[in-house]
Structure 1
């Protein structure tokens, strides 16, 4: 896959090779390539000597760092992970979406009285916004929780990502206190995700929390997880967190396919590299990094009814 992504990065003319970028630009591009080589999840699959040659060739004739930005954007594609990004300090000449444009949040699904329902939407923003998100999700769970519930629908459809930690805290009462998954770096070193008493932990360090956390009336509930092709990144992290949980099954469509985490690297000119540096793994250490298939693939119109039917079946079986 990485080799295919490199193809668009290998088209170099003889004339381009005769016009190297300015020395300051070459230094900058070496900074970029060095960070990529040291940290990319695909670093072992890339010929870095050729990668550097191609990066310089794509920036042929560049006299300023800004003129080399398109070459950096092509290098991001050439990494082949589908999730890395480059945020330039100065705008690149390309059509841009309105600054205030955000993805939609889907409405809640109506469900019968014996079924709990919670949508886990995308979230990004300030600490105040993240705290409000956690409080809202847990308040909804508390409001809808009843001892007579047969189980819960956890709806991740349309969750295009953002910050995974408030999501895990928000849905924590349903997930339960446990190891939820792992991040695996290029050396296959694992860092563990956990939920404990209103806290989302990453290798023991608190990433998000709420002091007034909620505990379900019934422990270890039956859970149906709903996903679609828009479930991405941090949304996929939540889907992974439910994998291998007892009395849990997923329904819908395969996720977007960027079940990976990114790290932020600041460049000397103020630009930022958001590099994919780890893949998600579930609590059994099953590795993802690709689209997460549901246990039951279904057409959109079939998802909710089938998930409710399964919850009732599973609830009866576990009594």
Structure 2
């Protein structure tokens, strides 16, 4: 450790004496070979919020090279499992940094990310980028190389590299970083120009973005990139300029993800993807409880199934004459709002549901009979006109989940309970790209029939003071039953 620090100091001094600027990006103990007397990896911090179920430590079992690797095992999915270390950075120009690692998992697909926070010389955070650890299913149980790239400006003096695991297991070794060099191919240059034009024309924050800066820095971002391999990096780099202007809702679909989005998302075993369908039951005190999960598909058959499934649950509960309703959106992270709102037809007033506000005007969507947008229910339910509706929200209620909460709160007998939503409530339009992927681009603000325009997290009508989910149910039921 001391030798490495001394070597770095000598090299920087020599470069300075020669009148050259340093270009440095060194991951601290990226091979996990520096271990202290307590068998801890020097320079690394580990966060494991459920050590009884999860595992996070250096391991001698099967390293890629040397004596040690980092092993992560996630059994309790809601618990945090994160490792981080420092990356020493110095560059005299905006340049691209690639972080590489060897990884191995017993699963074909995991939820795992790299993330690097960037800091200036005054230790102020000035940015950050992430990259999904995307495994090759054919190499299950084998070591394979993964990487992600990010842009580094001269103001950056230090990075903190995080590795998070959301499920299953992951072993990591030989984490390195390198500056990317070499020309971009013509196809990806044209692809980048296509994306810039799309964002300049349709983004909700297009007038706030410094497009001169974008054009100035884009050549550096394109260095060493290849069409088909680095498309996601280029799109996400350009979307980062929108994020600087407070658009945190736009995102990229890879060609595979976009194809999957349009495919049939049926019940387990019926389609290429699994859909989590709505559920409902009658609670004690004769209060109806309905869970509306996220739904991410543009497939017409899947949309119809989801909407009719939700509507059937509502109609079945209606037949039992409940005293009121609880609609749980607390875990609904979004997707396609149309089948969600259509399926809740019985609880939402007829007429205008919301408007999409753009600088060149606005458009509205309506609930008419059994139809909302392009979704028409197979059976039209009767309206619930005299029953209270408690809507559960949380920070996981996002995007179309938030749109659904707005639609429900059009009902004068509805209140929301819980905590504030995620704040991803702009209206996204999906724009296909020439590479087969697409961008879900925030292109309008949302306004309800009372002319309230939504910006940022939505605060609940009744903030939760409950310490558990059972307490939240109790509070909602007490409100529903107070006049019964």
Normalised TM-score (structure 1): 0.80
Matched, 1:237 2:403: yes
Note if contact 2:350-2:369 (Cα within 8 Å) is conserved in structure 1. yes
User: Hey, what does 2:269 align to over in structure 1?
Assistant: none
Q: Which has the higher contact order (CA 8 A, sep 6+)?
A: 1
For residues 389 and 372 of structure 2, the distance between their equivalents in structure 1, rounded to whole angstroms, comes to 20
- Alpha-carbon spacing, 1:109–1:82, altered in 2? closer, same or farther (3 Å): farther
Alignment of 1:143-162 (within 5 A): 143-146=316-319, 149-162=322-335
- Alpha-carbon spacing, 1:245–1:148, altered in 2? closer, same or farther (3 Å): same
TM-fit CA distance, 1:110: 5.6
- Alpha-carbon spacing, 1:5–1:135, altered in 2? closer, same or farther (3 Å): farther
Deviations 1:26-51 (A, max 9, x none): 33211110100111111121111112
User: Hey, what does 1:31 align to over in structure 2?
Assistant: 194
TM-fit CA distance, 1:208: 0.6
What SS class does the counterpart of residue 279 from structure 1 fall into? strand
Note if contact 1:40-1:276 (Cα within 8 Å) is conserved in structure 2. yes
For residues 238 and 196 of structure 2, the distance between their equivalents in structure 1, rounded to whole angstroms, comes to 9
Alignment of 1:212-291 (within 5 A): 212-216=379-383, 218-291=384-457
More helix by share: 1
For residues 275 and 459 of structure 2, the distance between their equivalents in structure 1, rounded to whole angstroms, comes to 23
For residues 290 and 101 of structure 1, the distance between their equivalents in structure 2, rounded to whole angstroms, comes to 31
- Alpha-carbon spacing, 1:220–1:195, altered in 2? closer, same or farther (3 Å): farther
Larger radius of gyration: 2
What SS class does the counterpart of residue 43 from structure 1 fall into? coil
Which of residues 296, 304, 311 is equivalent to 2:480? 311
Deviations 1:212-264 (A, max 9, x none): 21114x52432111112221111111111123431211101111221122222
Matched, 1:120 2:292: yes
TM-fit CA distance, 1:148: 5.0
Note if contact 1:183-1:192 (Cα within 8 Å) is conserved in structure 2. yes
Q: How many correspondences in the alignment?
A: 296
User: Hey, what does 1:189 align to over in structure 2?
Assistant: 361
Note if contact 1:106-1:158 (Cα within 8 Å) is conserved in structure 2. no
User: Hey, what does 1:62 align to over in structure 2?
Assistant: 225
Matched, 1:85 2:251: yes
What SS class does the counterpart of residue 420 from structure 2 fall into? coil
Which of residues 319, 334, 339 is equivalent to 1:166? 339
CA RMSD of aligned residues (A): 3.1
- Alpha-carbon spacing, 1:253–1:247, altered in 2? closer, same or farther (3 Å): same
More strand by share: 2
For structure 1, the residue ranges without an aligned partner over 5 or more in a row are 92-99, 202-206
